[in-house]
Structure 1
Amino acid sequence: MLKHLLLICALALTASAQDTGPAKDDPSVPKERDTILRIQIFLDKNFFGPGKLDGALGEFTYKAVVNYNYAHGQRDLYNWDMVLAAAAQEVPIAYAAFKIQPILLRYVNPDLPEDPEEQAKFPFMAYRSLVELIAERFHTDETFIATINPKKNLAALKPGDIVVVPNVKSFRIEDVKPMQSYKEDATLSTHTIVVDTVERMAAVYSAKEMMLAAFPITPGKPQFIPVGQWSVKTIMNTPSFRYDKQFLEEGVRGDEAHQLPPGPNSPVGIIWCGISKSGIGLHGTALPRTIGRARSAGCVRFANWDAIRLPLLIRPGSRVIVR
């Protein structure tokens, strides 16, 4: 059962666009940045996360295309024609103009320190700049925001300024309900999430084993990965986080720890999905650009814009398979 994720990830390219692979010379694969960006936006919209939106042919964009093709019955999993046509229809414009509203200043604190002991003294783990907020809001990173706003002084952004952003449905931090918990659901609790720690992907399946979604993830360190079958126990927005350096590095609870406040720059991001393996969860991250690269202690990290969608796909009672 549920062998699909391993099959799909084995077929997907696991290297960058510069490396050799079955899709490199495929004429169906577009090369233009804006076309790739529209495809990324389309895949993101349909719950097949391509990683950060940047108009580049990276590993997770390839995997998102393959997984989307598989989920929609496309026989040639590597062919981009279907997603290209769908993206052209659903995302005709790659960019949008975003006007910064004063309310967003509530979620920015340039004085937030890096040291956990000092962070524990703050009430909220805010963004450190408006450009960091805008990048996460539109599923990208600060580098791409700078690329598409070459004449904008991003360090001096203020309410009323207009910034060019990817034309994607935004992750609105102001709409995340603090401390909201999610209950069992007659349908969603029957879904299964399969975490492939080698391919760094998590896919959600229906009770009938139909692939519904797939997102890039950062798995835990190899020695801490909880391989096996588990279940979702709790899902909650804006969790606080017990920062225990010894536990994160050695997997053993230490005597010294700091209770960090909630917020988008919390190490667990804006949502926690605890599983039946004690101390392990699926959660967001403070560093979306590191998804797929850096490793956590034993948990599974998603970009906040993907993590916030987990309650739309799984609920307490859902099966969790870690491979």
Structure 2
Amino acid sequence: MRLRPHHLALLLTVALPLAACGANDPSEGTKAGGNAPVASAQVRAAPGLFTHDQIEQAMPSAQPASASTTPAPASPNGQPAATPPDPAMIRLQVLLDRSSFSPGVIDGLHGENVRQAIAAYREAKALGTGDAVDAALIQSLATADAQPVMTEYVLTPADVGGPFSPSPAGEDLSVQAAQGTNFSTARERIAERFHMSEDLLQALNPSVDFARAGVAILIPALIDRPLPQVARIEVDKAEKAVKAYDAAGTLIAFYPATIGSGDNLSPSGNLTVVGVAPEPDYLYDPSRLTFGKGERVIVPAGPNNPVGSVWIDLSRDTYGIHGTPDPSKIGKTASHGCVRLTNWDAEQLAAAVKPGVPVRFV
């Protein structure tokens, strides 16, 4: 999205916490969201598509992540059925997420975002080039992080109690400005909190009513591990990725990204970070833009705001790196010139940058 958030100048000096969208503080500084222990009096959901142990023990296939393992079966109407999640891919995606080499949304599916994250991790860890899921990759990920990849979490009243807003519909931002930018359902909120798709969340917990507190669900065991200080950022438009480096030139984070389009190109060359705006309002001003139509409007802050939960302002007017209301589309669609990440990836990056950090578009 190519537009500076409203009141940005008032926010640039605010220190951005890792969970800028207002998630609960991590429990003991380890699992994101403060996972509650499961007591015997709490309701346990019926088993889902995979059990905890099936995911923990699954071994990814020793082939390029871009390769398809099995053809999608045909549905009764003769059309290809949706590819089912792979427990080994869930495990791999969680490990990549915890390493800061983000696969984007954890959905248990092979895809381009996962392939690129694997290739970036292999290069950074001197495991060779390419995207092969081999023994060296698995050993490196497992050695770096031996904790379980799945855990149980008990839904709290705060998880299920709202407030909620209608799903954004169409391009009329005045409607969203009036209706709000909160999550549309408790299931959407919980899925984003644990970096996963709503489909996978439901498949792992098929009997759960996500509007009900006190139910134990199976979710990724995320780890709140902040980045070291970022010394420079590279935005790779061809690869649709954002890469963060430390002062020694080491690649410390990789994020899939949505970057520009044919009609609304992203910048080229060198810019710098100007500042960070957590939970920004979004100002749509058609007089300053080359896209869209309608009246000037301010869309309030919220996770489903057009620029998501955080904005990293860049030194070219109206351009930034920011979050998104639809994490499942990252790397799969175009933006209006800016650089869009999942909210959680944008928050992690924003917490590790300072004004003056160089940002190179290649």
Shorter chain as denominator, the TM-score bin is 0.7 to 0.9
1:98 corresponding residue in structure 2? 153
2:67 corresponding residue in structure 1? 17
SS of 2:152's equivalent? strand
Q: TM-score, normalised by structure 2?
A: 0.69
- 1:28-39 maps to which residues of 2 (within 5 A)? 33-39=86-92
- 1:223-302 maps to which residues of 2 (within 5 A)? 223=263, 224-244=265-285, 250-251=290-291, 256-302=295-341
| 1:163–1:110 distance in 2 versus 1, CA, 3 Å | farther
- Is 1:147 aligned to residue 200 of structure 2? no
What amino acid maps onto 2:87 in structure 1?
D
1:5 corresponding residue in structure 2? none
SS of 2:258's equivalent? coil
What amino acid maps onto 2:184 in structure 1?
R
- Is 1:118 aligned to residue 164 of structure 2? no
Shift, 1:102, TM fit: 1.4
Unmatched segments (≥5 aa) in structure 2: 1-63, 70-84
SS of 2:109's equivalent? coil
Match of 2:96 among 29, 43, 49: 43
Q: TM-score, normalised by structure 1?
A: 0.77
Task: Considering Cα pairs closer than 8 Å and 6+ residues apart, tell me whether 1 or 2 has the greater RCO.
Answer: 2
Would you say the 8 A contact 1:193–1:314 is kept in 2?
Answer: no
- Is 1:212 aligned to residue 266 of structure 2? no
**Whole-angstrom CA distance in 1 between matches of 2:235 and 2:129:** 24
Over the aligned positions, Cα root-mean-square deviation in angstroms equals: 2.8
Would you say the 8 A contact 2:259–2:337 is kept in 1?
Answer: yes
State which drifts further: 231-240 or 94-103: 94-103
Shift, 1:246, TM fit: 7.8
Q: Quick check: which one's helix share is greater? A: 1
State which drifts further: 231-240 or 205-214: 205-214
How many percent identity over aligned positions?
A: 30
Give the count of matched residue pairs: 278
Shift, 1:294, TM fit: 1.8
**Whole-angstrom CA distance in 2 between matches of 1:87 and 1:34:** 16
What amino acid maps onto 1:199 in structure 2?
E
What amino acid maps onto 1:168 in structure 2?
L
**Whole-angstrom CA distance in 2 between matches of 1:137 and 1:66:** 26
1:147-191 CA distance string (max 9 Å, x none): 21223345xx222223222222379xxxxxxxxxxxxxxx836x1
2:20 corresponding residue in structure 1? none
**Whole-angstrom CA distance in 1 between matches of 2:68 and 2:234:** 29
- Is 1:164 aligned to residue 201 of structure 2? no
Would you say the 8 A contact 2:235–2:359 is kept in 1?
Answer: yes
